[in-house]
Amino acid sequence: MSKLRGPQEKKAASLEHDCRNSYGENDKSSRKNIPRSKQRTHQAERRAANQPLQQLSGAMDEDRATIAEIESRTNAIDKRRNGFRKRPDTPLKDVLVHQETGLWPPKPRFFH
């Protein structure tokens, strides 16, 4: 049996748990755009990691190789941190508030 007693409680729970895609583009296009964005991020990460290593050529001293390796790793980490991240859908309650007022309610700060 449900813990929710009346229709008002059920409606409030429904508005809180049901979500809508509020990204601003066609919801069907996410099927292609999410993998495409992840691909672009991975490509940029590989490119950033390879760029310092491509500058090394021929015989080189150990210090330059170590510096290039460290730079390569830090570039890759920076690209990974600033890369694409999926965003969760917005609760229906917030979407309805946005439709009525034109303003989005403040979001909690638990996503990085």
**For the chain, what is the HEC assignment?**
CCCCCCHHHHHHHHHHHCEECCCCCCHHHHHHHHHHHHHHHHHHHHHHHHHHHHCCCCCCCHHHHHHHHHHHHHHHHHHHHCCCCCCCCEEHHHHHHHHHHCCCCCCCCCCC
Kindly report the average pLDDT of the chain as a whole number. 85
Q: What is the pTM of this model?
A: 0.63
- List, for residues 10-48, the tens digit of each pLDDT value: 888 888 888 888 777 777 888 888 899 999 999 999 999
